[in-house]
Structure 1
Amino acid sequence: MVPPELTIDQGTLRGSTSTDLRGNSFFKFQGIPYAKPPIGELRFKAPVPAEPWTGILDATKQGPVCFHRDPLRKGLISGSEDCLYLNVYTKTLPDHANTTLRPVLFWVHGGGFYFGSGNEDLYGPDFLITEDVVVVTINYRLGVLGFLSLEDPSLDVPGNAGFKDQVLALKWVQNNISKFGGDPNNVTIFGESAGGAAIHLLVLSPMTKGLFHKAIAQSGCALNPWARGTTGCAFLGPALGVEPSDEKTIYNILMTKSVEEIFQIQDILMSGLVLSGHRPVGFVVETNSSQPFLDDEPMNIITSGRFNQVPFMVGYTTGEGMIFDLMRRELKDFRDVVPWFFGYERDAPETRTIADKIKKFYFGDDEVSPKTVTQKYNCLTDVQFLYGIYVTIINQVAVSQVPTYLYRMSVESGLNVLKIFLKIEVPGTSHYDDVGYLFRHFATPDITPGSTEDLCLTKIVKLWTNFAKFGNPTPDVNDPRLKAVWKPVTNTSNLDFLDIGKDLVALVNPDPERINFWKQLFSESPAAHKTHHK
């Protein structure tokens, strides 16, 4: 087959072809630059659109990933500071006889804001592209390079550069996606984990109006404790032997260091964090920027209704907390799971009181041990993911004019590769394992037609692509593949949700006892109540 070529705003691309899960061909255009390399004077700064090129750009190979360590392949440290590239996958290219544009699915990868990429070893399009959609995956800056936030306005590093990368990629989609057969007026953003939090933040951002039309936040939201970064140099100053208040010196030092040296510093900072404490990477509220990605606290934006009101899907897996086994993070001191936004120092008596309540609720008189591993996973699921998602839903639904859909992912099969990799034997769907039903990745097993894996991924792909097409994941009540009606949340006292297991089951109020425990805990804390509970 002749390699496909097309011309976009920047120049001409030559792509390649591949086949999807069902054996049908599709086109791939990979490694497309959407921004200038964020190097030299552009390090830490907001991204700048890519310049045009002459000749034909080879889009048959993926672009460099952003510098990181792979948590599944721990010896693998790879990437480049020049990493702002995206990939486009499409079934057909438009011509004069074929002008029907298709819905666009725009993926933001997870990885805690400090690892991962949008490339095919983690996010191959083979499953989603079986439906009539165009898929876009992106890289964005990670770690200190993507999320350094300095308070000195003269340095022009207010933070959120990694999120601004995502915004620029969405602008690229608006300008170019029709050339690939995608509809710029029907773009669904979706992501998982840090990608899920990024999706929620894109919904809340004043920078993104009109850039997307639906949003899916998987296992992450702006109100999860790990999504928040820090303004200033409280972490970096001590690591560099400089007073945290001396931002100009810190900035100048960082500008002289190689990407490898910055990574080494970041690696030390990230390894010493407690589970629910402050992190040096994540979103910040920008107070010294003329064009902020986020100009107010997320809860204020949510409750005022000032967010981008688009159909919204959000949910979690039953065993989110299993991910911490991958990071080898043991639950030894329950003060480590008290969210930082309760406002107490770790050694404060209030922190000990809250920690004791958490331990009592989940473990009773038992200790953390192999026999109580389910309780550990539930505790980490709730504090790191579920409660923030719950608070997001009840507050957005109260002011939103568009539907919000809630799910709980409980599916288990051979595609739950992270749980299998971690050798976890208790029931539950691990964090990240929902991704294996949407994308092919390096550990995806062979899929036999008609197998449990095939049937489950077909259902989940259909729900996600239905939402992208119609803003409703179950528009056809007679679809034999789904056999369910997924109702949007309309009553915040009785939350409709879909349990996505081997069967799809419509239910009300997920995990109510656990949610009510955290509601009570938050209501007793003035600081937490102010920022995370309404």
Structure 2
Amino acid sequence: MEEPIVSTQEGQLIGSIKSAFNDESFFSFQGIPYAKPPLGELRFKAPLPPDQWDGIRDATREGDECYAKNLVSIYTGSENCLCLNVFTKEICSRSLRPVMLWIHGGGFTSGSSRSEIYDPSFLMTEDIVLVTLNYRIGPLGFLHLQDSSLGVPGNAGLKDIVMALQWVRRNISQFSGDPNNVTIFGESAGGAAVHLLMLSPMARGLFHKAIAQSGCATNHWATCRSDGVRHLAEALGIYTNDDRVLLKHLQEMSVEELIGGMERVPDPFLVGKFRPFGPIIEKKSTYEPGFLTENPVDIIKSGNFNQVPFITGCVEKEGMFVYSLCTTGKKNTLLVDESLVPNSLNLRIGSEQYNKAVDKIKKFYFSGNEDPSNDLDSILKVYGHNFFLYEIYKTAQHHLESSNTPIYFYLFAVDTELNFMKSVLGVEGEGVCHADDIAYLFKNMLTPEELEPNGPEVIGIHRMVKMWTNFAKYSNPTPNNNDPLIPVTWQPINKSCFNVLRIGTDDLQLLNKHPDVEGMDFWDEMYQKYALSSKL
């Protein structure tokens, strides 16, 4: 096969040839700019369309990721990071394939689409076109100022993803992708971004299905505080109340100095605290359209959002990830009140009501245990519920009330040699950790070179890839299923039955209620009792 050349509206690209998990060949195009480099005066601002180029652009290597610390705490990348990758079996074909666009996680402060984590060879066993992308993170993607005339209202990183979707609409048919059949999917912050795109008028019509893995718009860690920029300015030694002056300073300094300042701003991963940089509800402005200008819950309840078929769910023990964060570093924050009581309960820390809420939570999860720090199973359960599951569970319920499209809910519990997050985080115990599901959709640098053909790893890969790509093709993860490895029909939730597909190591089970429904009912009671106006 010859190296492929494709013509886009911006210019020609030359790609490379790679092998999928089943040894079939596919074409790879990497480092494609989907927006103008957000440098200088464009720093922190909404992306602009990409420039055109002459000649044939080399698309055989990955582009830069957004400048940040990587998994081993080394700074990598650059600001010139607005690029995407396209993987396809054919180019310029009249037969167009479903498109799947992946949004990486990382808490909106780290992560990228690099192939060390997101190698496409598993998904490219199916007839789809896969797109992965980098977007701005940290203050580069989520700094916001109060002066709306300055064009920095926040959510630039999410607007980057919208720009990438616009690129897909213009160009993906050249890669044999169908611009009228686009599925967005992502995990953790990527899952929250998927959900936010469903709620944003800016993304209307740019995608047609959505899969949000372990994240939603209303998760507490996906909400930032309004004073993050002031803390950043203080860390950088900038003292001014004038947003225009502040912006000038922040745009003129090096990216290394800027991100170094961010490292000195506290970023608590606690349900009772707000983070400094992440998605925010923008002030309505006459200067430019907003990505999100209303409370996500109000948007869902109104029904005025991008109503598309939707898959959402969690892994079995999301709390392992939170536990690892609360037991590392200089200070052990395990079971502090701010890691138990969500800020959306609207309780003043230290008040009588707040203390009663703490007692109720501890009583429910630890049954009066005088030393709950030794009860690891209960710790993982409370963290999994109030950091991830409850908001995702309620999101599905609220979408059911206002949406006419199918909503599928899952619990991922596949535990094999592919699961890598526990070893990365240094967490012991049985169960599937946050982000372990990624390893069954994407090959990564820790994937064993040889996998037993009929082993649990390969079966898990087959099931996830098949159901996710079926959904992209048919809006149904198990259509007319005759696959012996997927012997169930996954039913969407409905008003009389909250169907949950438990994706286990040995089997698939369709449950008629969530296994942790008692915990969900407990949090319902907490919100009914304490919240003045809960998020969900």
Q: What does residue range 116-155 of structure 1 map to in structure 2 within 5 Å?
A: 116-155=111-150
Higher mean alpha-carbon deviation, 315-324 vs 191-200, is at 315-324
- Cα distance change on mapping 1:82 and 1:273 into 2, 3 Å: same
Is the 1:91–1:132 Cα contact (8 Å) retained in structure 2? Answer: yes
Q: Distance in 2 between matches of 1:495 and 1:245?
A: 50
Give the structure 2 partner of residue 15 of structure 1.
15
Per the normalisation by structure 1, the TM-score is 0.95
1:449 and 2:453 correspond:
yes
Offset at residue 243 of structure 1 (A): 6.0
Letter in 2 for 1:505: Q
Offset at residue 355 of structure 1 (A): 1.9
Offset at residue 322 of structure 1 (A): 1.0
Letter in 2 for 1:235: H
Q: What does residue range 426-437 of structure 1 map to in structure 2 within 5 Å?
A: 426-437=429-440
1:516 and 2:527 correspond:
no
Is the 1:236–1:244 Cα contact (8 Å) retained in structure 2? Answer: no
Higher mean alpha-carbon deviation, 248-257 vs 285-294, is at 248-257
Offset at residue 4 of structure 1 (A): 0.9
Is the 2:166–2:206 Cα contact (8 Å) retained in structure 1? Answer: yes
Q: Distance in 2 between matches of 1:287 and 1:114?
A: 22
Offset at residue 99 of structure 1 (A): 1.1
Higher mean alpha-carbon deviation, 285-294 vs 207-216, is at 285-294
Let me know the Cα RMSD of the aligned residues: 1.7
Is the 1:335–1:351 Cα contact (8 Å) retained in structure 2? Answer: no
Give the structure 2 partner of residue 483 of structure 1.
487
5+ unaligned residues in a row in structure 1: which ranges?
A: none
Is the 2:143–2:154 Cα contact (8 Å) retained in structure 1? Answer: yes
Q: Aligned match of 1:216 in 211, 230, 247?
A: 211
Offset at residue 479 of structure 1 (A): 2.2
1:343 and 2:343 correspond:
no
1:377 and 2:375 correspond:
no
Letter in 1 for 2:171: N
Give the structure 2 partner of residue 42 of structure 1.
42
Offset at residue 356 of structure 1 (A): 2.1
Q: Distance in 2 between matches of 1:43 and 1:359?
A: 45
Moved over 6 A (4+): none
1:205 and 2:200 correspond:
yes
Higher mean alpha-carbon deviation, 344-353 vs 210-219, is at 344-353
The alignment-based identity, stated in percent, is: 45
Give the structure 2 partner of residue 470 of structure 1.
474
Q: Distance in 2 between matches of 1:345 and 1:238?
A: 26
Q: What does residue range 41-190 of structure 1 map to in structure 2 within 5 Å?
A: 41-71=41-71, 73-74=72-73, 76-94=74-92, 98-190=93-185
1:260 and 2:264 correspond:
no
Offset at residue 349 of structure 1 (A): 3.3
Is the 2:347–2:531 Cα contact (8 Å) retained in structure 1? Answer: no
- Cα distance change on mapping 1:272 and 1:335 into 2, 3 Å: closer
Q: Distance in 2 between matches of 1:532 and 1:274?
A: 16
Offset at residue 345 of structure 1 (A): 3.6
Q: Distance in 2 between matches of 1:37 and 1:210?
A: 25
Q: Distance in 2 between matches of 1:190 and 1:439?
A: 13
Q: Distance in 1 between matches of 2:493 and 2:372?
A: 37
Q: Distance in 2 between matches of 1:83 and 1:384?
A: 30
Higher mean alpha-carbon deviation, 196-205 vs 411-420, is at 411-420
Q: Distance in 2 between matches of 1:270 and 1:326?
A: 18
Residue aligned with 1:269, SS? coil
Instruction: Write out per-residue CA displacement over residues 502-526 of structure 1, whole angstroms, 9 at most, x where no aligned residue.
Output: 2110002211111011111111223
Is the 1:335–1:355 Cα contact (8 Å) retained in structure 2? Answer: no
Is the 2:109–2:277 Cα contact (8 Å) retained in structure 1? Answer: yes
Letter in 1 for 2:68: H
Q: Distance in 1 between matches of 2:484 and 2:470?
A: 14
Letter in 1 for 2:384: T
1:504 and 2:500 correspond:
no
Q: Distance in 1 between matches of 2:219 and 2:338?
A: 17
Give the structure 2 partner of residue 331 of structure 1.
334
Is the 1:299–1:531 Cα contact (8 Å) retained in structure 2? Answer: no
Letter in 2 for 1:201: L
Q: Distance in 2 between matches of 1:371 and 1:470?
A: 47
Q: Distance in 2 between matches of 1:520 and 1:35?
A: 46
Q: Distance in 2 between matches of 1:384 and 1:3?
A: 46
Give the structure 2 partner of residue 195 of structure 1.
190
Offset at residue 234 of structure 1 (A): 4.5
Q: What does residue range 243-392 of structure 1 map to in structure 2 within 5 Å?
A: 245-271=241-267, 274-289=270-285, 290-327=288-325, 328=328, 330-366=333-369, 371-392=374-395
- Cα distance change on mapping 1:234 and 1:274 into 2, 3 Å: farther
Offset at residue 178 of structure 1 (A): 0.5
Offset at residue 47 of structure 1 (A): 0.1
Q: Distance in 1 between matches of 2:42 and 2:104?
A: 23
Residue aligned with 1:136, SS? strand
5+ unaligned residues in a row in structure 2: which ranges?
A: none
Q: Distance in 1 between matches of 2:239 and 2:342?
A: 27
